[in-house]
A = this chain, B = another copy of it.
């Protein structure tokens, strides 16, 4: 039976594994200063239409989030996040671990709006309070929703007006690119920092971080937090394999398409999906008995929360590796739970 638990349940896309194997015996310097990484940095700058961008490769998302925030803020500055933001709820206080407060703003759909942000700075006016200095958003969000270009432009404008940096967590940038109207050049132009998530879209691991402007001391920050991979070239090789052609985008399109098939199939069976997600995470509400039966059959997924005494919201995630047959099997088996 299949696991819809996450988009990092398998290893790497075959193209990535092939590239790692082919370059395995090339000798390179360590720590990401090798020609393989440099070439991939150039590729990313080109794809982003951002010739001056600063590109760094990191192993994982929490590491990337804490480093961007720590390196861009002064000790007493804070970051604004939706209350559902990964940095607020799912990183064991990693941001606070670097000394910074996360100011959580309630959001109905995991997204921030200018109105939500604008209420914050005026409440933080003097030295007895942290100074809001950055806005953190994720795309797709933690619940699969997606920012439109107009929405991100509005955030950018709001940040500019209030002297706030804008940082976009792209752990699931693939699914966002595959279903929204924002392009890599848009992300580079509208944010101060964002990243192209590899871990959840075909890489063994890795996030490609893009700063709009050079950050010459970022490597000191990386090393200090133990985030500089010795064989840094592994990251360059993987992103080269994913981004040199359509692989990255196709992997995400596949994930989204199968998730939407799950969504439509679940809806056709009459079950609600209250979160309007166009991407690779879907949140059906099922009767508790159906949830248990599916688990007994061996399906794996996360239980989100109990909606009422008889119903539970679950999360289904599709990835680049999810076979169509697994989706059809799941829907058939879900139908049988009625």
Interface residues of A (CB under 8 A from B): 2-3, 5-6, 8-12, 14, 17, 20-21, 23-31, 59-67, 70-71, 74-76, 78, 89-94, 96-102, 104, 127-131, 199-200, 204-205, 217, 219-231, 234, 300, 321
Contact = CB atoms under 8 A, between A and B. Distances in A.
Can you tell how many copies of this chain the complex includes?
Answer: 4
A221 B93 contact: no
A96 B100 contact: yes
Given A5-B29, A90-B129, A130-B92, A204 B231 contact: yes
Given A2-B27, A89-B129, A225-B97, A17 B21 contact: yes
Name the 5 nearest CB pairs between A and B, nearest first: A63-B226, A11-B24, A62-B226, A76-B220, A127-B219
12 contacts: A20-B204, A60-B226, A60-B230, A63-B227, A64-B226, A65-B226, A70-B75, A76-B221, A91-B226, A93-B99, A101-B102, A128-B223
A237 B5 CA distance: 21
B96 A101 contact: yes
A224 B76 contact: yes
A223 B92 contact: yes
Contacts of A60: 226, 228-230
Given A70-B75, A204-B231, A205-B229, 7 more contacts: A9-B28, A10-B27, A76-B93, A76-B97, A96-B96, A96-B100, A127-B223
A21 B24 contact: no
B70 A127 contact: no
A11 to B, nearest CB: 4
Nearest to A223: B92
Contacts of A25: 10-11, 321
Contacts of A24: 10-12, 14, 17
Contacts of A23: 11
Given A29-B9, A62-B226, A92-B128, A231 B199 contact: yes
A91 B11 contact: no
A59 B62 CA distance: 14
